[in-house]
Structure formats: C-alpha cells, structure tokens
Amino acid sequence: MQVLCLLWGISAILAMLIAFIPLLGALNWLVIPFAGVGAIISAIVLGTTRSTNKSMSLAGLICCGIALVFGLIRLALGGGIL
C-alpha cells in the first residue's frame, strides 16, 4: 500500500508539471482532486501502518501536498478560481 501512495504522489507531481505548460492549465482541475485523494489515502496509510519504515507513504503525502498547493496557485494565477 505504501508503494501505491508513492506512485500516486509521483503521478500527481508529473501531472502538475504538465499542467504548468501554457494552454494546459485547465488540467489543474483534474490534478487538484487527484492529489487530494492521494493525500487522503497516504495519510490513512501513514496512520495505520505499524512498521517503522513509513517513508514511502510519507513521501507520497508530501508529493501530493506539493502538487495540491502548486496546482491551486497555478489555477489562481491563471484566473481559474474566481
């Protein structure tokens, strides 16, 4: 499950980077919910995992958080949020 969190975070970061390309900013409307769901899943896995090695789920949570914040900033700068 931790691998899924990490892959979800990496996918969110890659989609966010693609959405930074001019004329593809509308992709942020898909990136923001995708990263939000990934952050929720990563937080659940981080909280329920008993192992001492929680680094992959923490990295997934951080990646999803970064994608979420930068996606919101890019959407606000592009005039997508009123």
Q: Dig out the tokens for 39 from the structure.
A: 């952050």
Is residue 82 assigned to a domain?
Answer: no
Largest CA distance in the chain: 44
Residue 79 CB: number of other CB atoms within 10 A? 8
Is residue 45 assigned to a domain?
Answer: yes
Residue 60 CB: number of other CB atoms within 10 A? 29
Average pLDDT over residues 13-28: 88
* pTM of the shown model: 0.87
pLDDT bin (cut points 50, 70, 90) of residue 22 is confident
| Count of domains for the chain | 1
Strand spans (E) along 1-82: none
Q: Dig out the tokens for 42 from the structure.
A: 């990563």
Q: What is the extent of the structural domain holding 39? A: 2-77
